[in-house]
Chains A and B, each alone.
Chain A
Amino acid sequence: MKYSIFSLARAALSGHKNWQRTWRDATPKDRYDVVIIGGGGHGLATAWFLASEYGIKNVAVLEKGWIGSGNAGRNTTIIRSNYGLPGNTGFYELSMKLWERMEQDLNYNAMVSQRGVINLYHSDAQRDAYARRGNTMRINGIDAELLDLAAVKKMIPFLNFDNARFPVQGGLLQRRGGTARHDAVVWGYAHAASALGVDIIQNCEVTGFVRDANGKVTGVETSRGKIGAGKVGMAVAGSSSRVAAMAGLRLPIESHVLQAFVSEAIKPLIPGVMTFGAGHFYVSQSDKGGLVFGGDIDGYNSYAQRGNMPVMEDVCEGGMALMPMIGRVRLLRQWGGIMDMSMDGSPIIDRTPVDGLYLNAGWCYGGFKATPGSGFVFAHLLARDTPHKEAARFRLDRFRTGAMIDEKGQGAQPNLH
């Protein structure tokens, strides 16, 4: 199925009754060259890049539930590449560039909307830190603009600029940042990967690894039987520790719950993505009109996919401090997702000590924006057995060697990243 203006016109003229399934719901074969565990954005992107860039088409993506039912469908859909540390800066820009060509690559409308991400600053020290980050971005060829108060007032005039405790002084703007439709990203990768022969297998939970006499992983045990594999890649952020434990591995990761929120729909208000710099609050407005926002993780280990009231209160306080007029907007929905919080706040894309098993994990709460980049570099690692140069620092052993990538400088306390 190829989508175009003509396919849309044909479908419209026939009353939209002839649309076909966009991807095949496959049944498992006995063996694949590569088996990817996890049918979220990262797993499906990995499969697509394996098939399209690296010529490995005998690939299966195994998903315990339905594709996109985990964090891929629970995030706040923000895309950006405004990172400051070596390792992160180049990787997230690689991902940003892939977002920019995703819809043409996949022949699927993912509603990628580059309407800007602005991080507001509220003190001289924060301005200096943002100026430094902006400079780092520009040195690396990424767009960044440091806006003063007058420029922010022109762009978003409705903020509470005179907040006595946290006056807005300006912001760091990345115009190429924005949002994308998260479900469409999952479906788009499924659509394109399936067309190249990738098997997407739903309701297929991995229950163990098949190992040979040398300990090499040669397949997986699943709720739908044994599946042989040349290589197995894990892309199950949120549950990485649980799946790795089946191979006898302990990871530098804790699972924490992050909540997200949507308000009732209002008329167009917020031009792009905004973040409040004096607390933790980020917001954008969906095409349906709802304000989509979030803040900190709850702070305690959880696999429950739901959070608690103190963080809801804290997030709403952040919103009110920035835009007091939203106090009369009602909250429509709220939910939680499970984050792979790593010990330095950065991801892990590496081989594991177990031969044949590859790890894509530790995305903390920044996994959505990384989706295409993560798929690309993980496919590279699986195909070539060497890390992609933009992901070479995301090593599993960096916690042992001391080569941490700690963007916030919080140390080995995952709930603070």
Chain B
Amino acid sequence: MRIVCPFCGERELGEFTYLGDAKPVRPEAGASEDEVFDYVYLRDNVAGQTSEYWYHGGGCRAWLKLTRNTLTHEISSVEPAAGVGARQAVK
């Protein structure tokens, strides 16, 4: 697996750190216990296309959002994650 960073170009996997599935969104303060439990512990654990966060710690130190296939490791898109979290937080 090599990741094409939108800022740095194609780099080897060792430069990147994995956070995980980009789908879970942190519940707002005051959310129910069930919502927090779901966010922290439950996962879809998809076999196929997933959207996920990676960190380019060995390069530009940007957070990236990848679309990747967990069955083949094929990466179909890489985009900067900047702003995605912020937009979701104000929803």
Q: Residues of A at under 8 Å CB distance from B?
A: 239, 241-242, 250-255, 299-304, 306, 308-310, 313, 343, 399-400, 412-413, 415
**B73 lies within 8 A of A400 (CB):** no
Q: Is the CB of B45 within 8 A of A304?
A: no
Beyond the given A241-B44, A300-B68, A308-B73, please list 9 additional residue pairs across the A-B interface where CB-CB is below 8 A. A241-B45, A251-B42, A252-B42, A253-B43, A255-B70, A304-B70, A304-B73, A308-B1, A309-B12
Known interface pairs A302-B73, A303-B70, A308-B1; A399-B37 also in contact (CB < 8 Å): yes
CA A308 to CA B40, docked complex, whole Å: 28
In the bound complex, do residue A302 and residue B70 qualify as a contact, i.e. CB atoms below 8 Å apart?
yes
- A301 touching B20, Cβ below 8 Å: yes
Q: How far is the CA of A397 from the CA of B78 in the complex (A)?
A: 36
Who on chain A is nearest to B45 by CB? A241
- In contact, B52 and A304 (Cβ under 8 angstroms): no
Q: Determine if B45 and A253 form an interchain contact, defined as CB atoms under 8 angstroms apart.
A: yes
A254 close to B43 (CB less than 8 A): yes
Task: Kindly identify, within residues 39 to 79 of chain B, every residue whose CB is under 8 Å from any CB belonging to chain A.
Answer: 40-47, 50, 52, 54, 68, 70-73
Chain B's interface size range is: 20 to 34
Is there contact, CB below 8 Å, between B20 and A310?
no
A241/B43 in contact, CB under 8 A: yes
Do the beta carbons of A255 and B45 come within 8 Å of each other? yes
- A343–B38 CA distance with the chains assembled, in angstroms: 12
**B14: interface (CB < 8 Å):** yes
Contacts of B42 in A (CB 8 A): 250-252
A304 to B72, CA, bound (A): 6
Residue in B closest to A399 when the chains form the complex, CB atoms: B41
**A313 lies within 8 A of B14 (CB):** yes
The answer for the CA separation of A144 and B52 in the assembled complex, in Å, is 42
Judging by beta carbons under 8 Å apart, are A310 and B14 in contact? yes
Asked if A310 contacts B13 (CB within 8 A), the reply is yes
The 3 lowest CB-CB distance pairs between A and B, nearest first, are: A241-B45, A310-B14, A300-B18
B26 to chain A, nearest CB (A): 13
Query: Measured between alpha carbons, how far is A308 from B20 in the docked complex, in Å?
Result: 17
Kindly state the separation between the CA atoms of A177 and B13 in the bound complex, as whole angstroms: 35
Whole-angstrom CA separation of A241 from B70 in the bound complex: 13
Complexed CA–CA distance, A303 and B46 (Å)? 9
B48 to chain A, nearest CB (A): 9
Output the least CB separation between A414 and chain B (Å).
8
**Residue in contact with B41 in the complex, picked from A242, A306, A343, CB distance below 8 Å:** A343
CB neighbours of A242 from chain B (8 A): 45, 47
Complex CA gap A396/B43 in Å reads 14
A308 to B1: give the CA distance in the assembly, Å.
7
Question: In the complex, are the beta carbons of A301 and B45 less than 8 A apart?
Answer: yes
